[in-house]
Amino acid sequence: MAKIQTLRGFRDIWGEEIEKFREIERISRKHLDLLGYMEMEIPVLEKTELFVRSIGDTTDIVEKEMFTFTDLGGDSVTLRPEATAGVVRSYLQAGLFVKERVSKLFTLGPMFRHEKPQKGRFRQFRQIDVEVFGSDSALIDAELLWMISLILKDLGVAGYTIEVNSVGCPECRLDFRNKVITYFEGKKEHLCEDCVRRLYRNPLRIFDCKHAHCIEVSRQSPFLFESLCNPCRTHFDEFLASLAGFGVETTINKRLVRGLDYYTRTVFEFTSGELGAQQTFIAGGRYDNLVEEMGGPKTPGTGFAIGVERLAMVSPGGMAHKGPRFFFAYMGERAAKYVASVARAFVESGMPLRYDYHGKSLKSQMRYADSLKSDFVLILGDDEIEKGIVTLRNMGTKEQHELPLDPAALTAAATELIK
Ligand code: ATP
Ligand code: MG
């Protein structure tokens, strides 16, 4: 019978990659805890309308990337393409805005987008999503970038660039809209179908288009950055000043707009040349009107998402702290009786131990120990039992020691040895 394979764009994750995911998540949680974030979990399946209303119906995500289907009850539901919409829904549903002035939240898990699979682009991928509700201060935006740089430093990630920009507020955009439309109207023949269609409905989307022609045409276009209203400009200047205070270096990219409609003022992306076409591995920004647009009270917000697969690609790895690994090799029926008690003594005192379940020849057990990258092998055969000892072999130096056979004493001696 033919084997069943994963769906296109969906992957199994194991080995070195999952080790990196664990490290990324451990180190991220450490810094999120230090800055007072609360972890939460939200559903992967939500009402389709939640994403259409928040992300915007003329974005790539909503127009062509969502896994949307009708459930058995006849409702249109969607596998979340990103987490902000769900976190906002949850924030409103729980009435958090009445309980605390500023809410700092994070969640992590899989997101789903029906995209063309390629390097760094999958249909199921992981994000660590961080959101702050209740303050419009540029200080928070700067604090987010500083916290990300601490996480990256801990992971040993170097050689990345932080691009920042301001996409202003609905007021600056109103002014700017006409300038952009006028500019692109004369160049319609160079734009892709999507951009032509969106020109009047959502002209800013042209700046996020990945088509070479659209990028080329937009190079000479006026930038929103130059049309910012005074409060938005002041906010951006405060953001830059706070970044300097935190010691975070950034580059202004006036073209940066992000792929979702809800952003206002601050937007940013962490990019790395190592990633090829999909350069951005962390992205985010401020969304001062989203909570209100989703039916809540006027509540500014800001946040970002880490693309875990892409961050893993730029992480050196090997950061997971592992102590030396032990293997217990036993020969004969008498020695076999010691397996359970030795395992208990080791593992219950936090010492990693592996063993073969069938106690084959010493040679085959040593080979197995080697394949498990064991640092030490404990050898127990009839000779050792007669002498009341266990032979410990250092697999690196090939040195051998005699340790006591009694499991508790054996564990204590092994612990002493690796200090
Ligand atoms: P891109 O421009 O690469 O399509 P995006 O603007 O759609 O990214 P966001 O919605 O801002 O991405 O998501 C934040 C991060 O999530 C991205 O920077 C990236 O690291 C990751 N990400 C987004 N889509 C995918 C995907 N299909 N596969 C893997 N990671 C993804
Ligand atoms: Mg995308």
Query: Residue 46 is encoded by which pair of tokens?
Result: 């939500």
From the CA of 304, give the closest atom in ligand 1.
14
Whose alpha carbon is nearest atom 11 of ligand 1? 283
Ligand 1 centroid from CA 120, angstroms: 9
> What integer pLDDT is reported at residue 320 of this predicted model?
61
> What integer pLDDT is reported at residue 277 of this predicted model?
77
User: Kind and range of the H or E element at 369?
Assistant: helix 362-371
Ligand 1 centroid from CA 196, angstroms: 24
* pLDDT tens track for 87-138: 999 999 999 999 999 999 999 999 999 999 999 999 999 999 999 999 999 9
CA quadruple 230, 234, 235, 241: dihedral, nearest 10? 160
d(CA 287, CA 293): 10
Yes or no: say if 271 and 160 are a contact pair by the CB < 8 Å rule.
Answer: yes
d(CA 157, CA 182): 43
- What's the whole-model pTM score? 0.91
From the CA of 259, give the closest atom in ligand 1.
6
In the chain, which residues have pLDDT < 50? none
Ligand nearest to the CA of 261: 1
d(CA 66, CA 113): 5
* pLDDT tens track for 268-311: 999 998 888 779 999 999 999 999 999 999 999 999 999 999 99
DSSP result, 140-175:
HHHHHHHHHHHHHHHHT--SEEEEEEE---HHHHHH
Q: 208 CB under 6 A from ligand 1? A: no
Ligand 1 centroid from CA 62, angstroms: 14
Ligand 2 centroid from CA 243, angstroms: 27
> What integer pLDDT is reported at residue 319 of this predicted model?
62
